[in-house]
Structure 1
Amino acid sequence: MTQINNYLPIRNEWLASGTEIALEPDRPIIDAHHHFYDRPGWTYLLDEYLQDAQSGHNIQASVYMQALTRYRESGEASLRPVGEIEYVAEVTAHQQAHRPQVAKRMIGYADLRLGAAVREVLEAEIAAGQGRLAGVRHLVTWDADRSLVNPLSAAPQGLLLDNAYREGVAQLAPLGLSCDAWLFFPQLPELFDLAKRFPDTPFIVNHCGGVVRIASYAQHPQAVFAAWSASMRQLAELPNVYVKLGGLGMRINGFDFEKGERPPTSEQLAEAWAPWVMTCLEAFGAGRCMFESNFPVDKGSYPFSNGWNAFKRLTATASESEREALFRGTVSKVYRLE
Structure 2
Amino acid sequence: MNPGVGPEGAPQEALEDRPLSTTAAAPVRHPTIRPDWLARNAEPALEPDLPIVDAHHHLWDRPGDPYMLDEFLADASGGHAVQASVFIECNTSYHPDGDPLFRPLGETEFVAAAAARAASRPHGPRVADGIVGFADLSAGAAVRPVLEAQIEAGRGHFRGIRQIAAWHPDPAARGSVATPPPMMMLDPGFREGFAQLAPLGLSFDAWAYHTQLAELRDLADAFPETRIVLNHVGGAIGIGPYASRRRHVSAAWSAAIRELSHCPNLHVKLGGLGMRLFGFGLHEGEVPPDSVQLAELWRPYIETCVEAFGPQRCMFESNFPVDKASCGYTVLWNAFKRITAGWSEHERAALFHGNATRFYRLGETA
TM-score (norm 2): 0.90
SS at 1:17's partner residue? Answer: helix
SS at 1:38's partner residue? Answer: coil
Q: 2:103 aligns with which of 77, 80, 86?
A: 80
Change (3 A) 1:142 1:32: same
- Cα distance between partner residues in 2 of 1:84 and 1:17: 34
Alignment partner, residue 33 of structure 1:
56
Paired amino acid for 2:297: A
SS at 1:180's partner residue? Answer: strand
Alignment partner, residue 107 of structure 1:
132
Alignment partner, residue 238 of structure 1:
263
Alignment partner, residue 163 of structure 1:
188
How do residues 188-227 of structure 1 correspond to structure 2 at under 5 angstroms?
A: 188-227=213-252
Decide whether the 8 Å contact of 1:69 with 1:84 is kept in 2. Answer: yes
Decide whether the 8 Å contact of 1:68 with 1:84 is kept in 2. Answer: yes
- Cα distance between partner residues in 2 of 1:152 and 1:306: 25
Change (3 A) 1:301 1:112: same
Q: 2:168 aligns with which of 117, 120, 143?
A: 143
The list of structure 1 runs, each at least 4 consecutive aligned residues, that deviate by more than 6 angstroms after superposition, is: none
| CA-CA distance at 1:211 after TM superposition | 1.8
Decide whether the 8 Å contact of 2:57 with 2:86 is kept in 1. Answer: yes
2:35 pairs with 1:15: no
- Cα distance between partner residues in 2 of 1:291 and 1:275: 15
- Cα distance between partner residues in 1 of 2:91 and 2:28: 14
Alignment partner, residue 320 of structure 2:
295
Change (3 A) 1:152 1:281: closer
Structure 1: runs of 5+ lacking an equivalent: none
The superposition leaves residues 41-70 of structure 1 with CA deviations (integer Å, 9 ceiling, x where unpaired) of 311111100000111111000000001110
The superposition leaves residues 144-164 of structure 1 with CA deviations (integer Å, 9 ceiling, x where unpaired) of 112343685111111110000
- Cα distance between partner residues in 2 of 1:149 and 1:283: 26
Decide whether the 8 Å contact of 1:8 with 1:300 is kept in 2. Answer: yes
Deviates more, 1:319-328 or 1:92-101: 92-101
Alignment partner, residue 210 of structure 2:
185
| CA-CA distance at 1:12 after TM superposition | 0.4
| CA-CA distance at 1:5 after TM superposition | 4.6
Decide whether the 8 Å contact of 1:6 with 1:251 is kept in 2. Answer: no
SS at 2:264's partner residue? Answer: coil
Q: 2:119 aligns with which of 96, 113, 120?
A: 96
TM-score (norm 1): 0.97
| CA-CA distance at 1:27 after TM superposition | 0.8
2:365 pairs with 1:335: no
The superposition leaves residues 251-296 of structure 1 with CA deviations (integer Å, 9 ceiling, x where unpaired) of 1111111122211010100000111110001000110000000000
Q: How many residues align?
A: 335
Decide whether the 8 Å contact of 1:245 with 1:291 is kept in 2. Answer: yes
Structure 2: runs of 5+ lacking an equivalent: 1-26
